[in-house]
């Protein structure tokens, strides 16, 4: 008796589970192809240094890090973006811009395991490098939306919430937050959904040294839930108008693609990772039952800091865990039962040679084939074929073998035909 279990937060993928994962990854790769992203990968172990400071304290606390036998400080990768920045930065000079790459790494974070959060997950990463214009931000959000549409989800199931750190910065500076307290202020307002406005105001004055008046002005900013309302309230202020104009172009691009109904302006999207510099976004289920399905944004300084290559960049990560939960909740998981094109069987041992020859030539022709040597009657084999989800049965009784034919039965309709073996195995 085995008493071993997978570690907490790690998954065993039984065939049914793996079929779901494959279904999701097929949609990821399909949209990557349609949008012209090329696949890359990097090492699952990276130097610890790569994440310190670059990713920010939230991720650094969650690292699976250790010292290897060569006395190096290393860690399992918790995210892909620093690896991408290193790789793309190293080759960028020789590559056509914008560089559009995608990857499907397995990532590791020592998090408290809960619904939608595990200690390993597979994460699709789409990134665009070398394009500063907001059209690239729109392209990326469109790709994320199209992945979920490909999986059968609609605007009733999910929404992309979009903000811009530059706009938020301009609004907070305008409200009176000191420049050197901005990052702390972002982290505080990031909790607006979970804490009361009073608690947020108290933290802004207490921890971020913001005046009570400025804290009230910050909370007033977040009272606006519509982009038009923010534009009306702050559009006339110096330093804010240009930021609003950029967002307006972004929404205009998505409207033009017919995807406007999937995106919503939401200043409350801040994102935990430290490297984002511009438009940031997260995709959520509309019922608000799950954690973020996907998150990303623009990180224009990261390649310079990691690889010394000054190139604007943006991307997103979409994990398989929350996505699987959402598809299950909406009844959109695929049928994972294996299916066969043919089930080949014969009455007795004399037909084995013919049976193996037919099964193999059918497989050579590209069909999926299961066969049985069991000495049983036709009806028993027909039942087996249905249980195995085979679309057709090729039956080789003594008469059929003598005539060089098979009796082919369509499992669904029950229709039967005698077909010459040579014809049957034709591709």
* Residues in contact with ligand HAM, shown as a per-residue x/- string from 78 to 97 under the rule CB under 6 A: -xxx----------------
The dihedral over CA atoms of 267, 273, 275, 281, expressed in degrees to the nearest 10, equals -40
Give the shortest CB-118-to-ligand HAM separation in angstroms.
4
Pairing mode of beta strands 369-372, 340-346: parallel
- The residue assigned the tokens 């699976």 is 64
Is residue 322 part of the contact set for ligand HAM (CB under 6 A)?
A: yes
Q: Which of 105, 315, 346, 397 binds ligand HAM (CB under 6 A)?
A: 315
121 binds ligand HAM (CB under 6 A): yes
Contact 38, 101 (CB under 8 A): yes
Least distance CB 221 / ligand HAM (angstroms): 23
Query: Distance (Å, rounded) from C-alpha 26 to C-alpha 100?
Result: 18
Question: Which H/E stretch holds residue 124?
Answer: strand 120-129
- Side-chain-side CA neighbours of 263 within 13 Å: the count stands at 31
With tokens 């900013």, the residue in question is 221
Pairing of strands 340-346, 313-319: unpaired
Please pick, from the candidates 65, 83, 123, 351, the single residue that binds ligand HAM as defined by CB under 6 A. 123
Does 109 sit near ligand HAM (CB under 6 A)? yes
Between 195 and 325, whose beta carbon lies closer to ligand HAM?
325
Question: SS3 for 177?
Answer: coil
**Site for ligand HAM contains 319 (CB under 6 A):** yes
The count of chain residues that interact with ligand HAM, using the rule CB under 6 A, is 24
Encoded one letter per residue, x for contact with ligand HAM by CB under 6 A and - for no contact, window 256-295 reads -----------------x------------------xxxx
105 binds ligand HAM (CB under 6 A): no
> Which segment (67-75, 314-322, 360-368, 416-424) binds ligand HAM by CB under 6 A?
314-322
Closest CA to 282 of 274, 272, 32, 35: 272
Total residues found in the chain within this entry = 427
- Return residues touching ligand HAM (CB under 6 A): 79-81, 109, 111, 117-118, 121, 123, 125, 127, 273, 292-296, 315-319, 321-322
């Amino acid at each position: 008796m085995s008493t071993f279990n997978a570690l907490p937060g790690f998954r065993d993928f039984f065939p049914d589970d793996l079929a779901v994962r494959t279904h999701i990854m097929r949609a990821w790769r399909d949209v990557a192809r349609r949008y012209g992203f090329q696949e890359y990968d990097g090492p699952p172990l990276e130097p610890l240094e790569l994440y310190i400071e670059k990713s920010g304290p939230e991720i650094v606390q969650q690292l699976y890090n250790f010292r290897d036998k060569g006395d190096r400080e290393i860690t399992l990768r918790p995210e892909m973006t620093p690896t991408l920045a290193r790789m793309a930065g190293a080759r960028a000079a020789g590559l056509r811009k914008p560089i559009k790459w995608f990857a499907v790494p397995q990532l590791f974070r020592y998090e408290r395991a809960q619904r939608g959060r595990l200690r390993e997950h597979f994460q699709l990463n789409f990134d665009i490098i070398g394009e500063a214009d907001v059209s690239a931000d729109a392209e990326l959000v469109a790709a994320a939306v199209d992945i979920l549409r490909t999986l059968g989800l609609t605007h009733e199931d999910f929404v992309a919430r979009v903000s811009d750190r530059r706009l938020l910065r301009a609004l907070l500076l305008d409200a009176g937050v000191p420049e050197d307290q901005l990052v702390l202020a972002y982290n505080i307002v990031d909790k607006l959904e979970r804490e009361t406005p009073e608690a947020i105001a108290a933290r802004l004055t207490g921890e971020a040294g913001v005046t009570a008046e400025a804290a009230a002005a910050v909370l007033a900013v977040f009272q606006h839930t519509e982009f038009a309302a923010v534009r009306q309230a702050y559009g006339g202020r110096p330093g804010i108008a240009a930021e609003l104009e950029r967002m307006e172009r972004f929404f205009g691009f998505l409207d033009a693609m017919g995807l406007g109904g999937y995106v919503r302006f939401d200043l409350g999207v801040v994102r935990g990772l430290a490297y984002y510099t511009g438009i940031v976004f997260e995709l959520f289920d509309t019922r608000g039952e799950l954690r973020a399905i996907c998150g990303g944004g623009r990180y224009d300084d990261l390649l310079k800091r990691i690889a010394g290559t000054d190139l604007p960049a943006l991307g997103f990560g979409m994990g398989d865990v929350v996505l699987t939960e959402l598809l299950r909740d909406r009844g959109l998981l695929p049928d994972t039962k294996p299916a066969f094109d043919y089930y080949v069987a014969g009455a007795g041992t004399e037909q084995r040679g013919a049976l193996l020859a037919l099964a193999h030539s059918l497989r050579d022709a590209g069909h999926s084939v299961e066969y049985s040597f069991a000495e049983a009657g036709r009806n028993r084999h027909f039942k087996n074929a249905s249980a195995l989800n085979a679309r057709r049965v090729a039956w080789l009784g003594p008469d059929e073998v003598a005539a060089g034919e098979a009796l082919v039965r369509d499992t669904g309709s029950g229709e039967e035909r005698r077909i010459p073996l040579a014809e049957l195995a034709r591709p």
